[in-house]
Amino acid sequence: MNNITVTNAKYIEGYKIKILFSDSTSRIIDFGVFLKENSHPQWDKYNDIKYFKKFKIENGNLVWGRDWDIIFPVHNLYIGNLMAPCC
């Protein structure tokens, strides 16, 4: 699991993104609950869909913002639980 990376990500709708991992596993994750329940000045702007849709993949990670305003452990994305203790 430690070598799994994000290889592709596609916006679906709302706060949902379909993520493809390096082992060919894919998962649709809804980030809406996390964003609504975890207010923080650094990522509150991503509640606006136009900013939320500007994610990218860098170094095998799904990130938002030029300086990685939001990044989740790949393990958490892989298991579909954004708030799980990592690794």
**CATH number for the domain that contains residue 36:** 3.30.2020.10
**CA–CA dist 4, 25 (Å, integer):** 10
Question: Is 29 inside any structural domain?
Answer: yes
Count of domains for the chain: 1
Q: Which domain holds residue 18?
A: 6-79
pLDDT tens digits for range 40-62: 888 899 999 999 999 999 999 99
85 in a structural domain: no
> pTM of the predicted model, to two decimals?
0.91
- Identify whether 25 is part of a domain: yes
Residue that is written with structure tokens 């679906």 in the block: 12
Asked if the model's pLDDT at residue 20 lies above 90, the reply is: yes
* pLDDT tier for residue 85 given thresholds of 50, 70 and 90: confident
39 within some domain: yes
Please indicate whether residue 32 or residue 41 has the higher confidence score (pLDDT). Answer: 32
Residue type, 57: I
Kindly state whether residue 51 falls inside one of the protein's structural domains: yes
> Mean per-residue pLDDT for 15-44?
94
Establish if 86 belongs to a structural domain: no
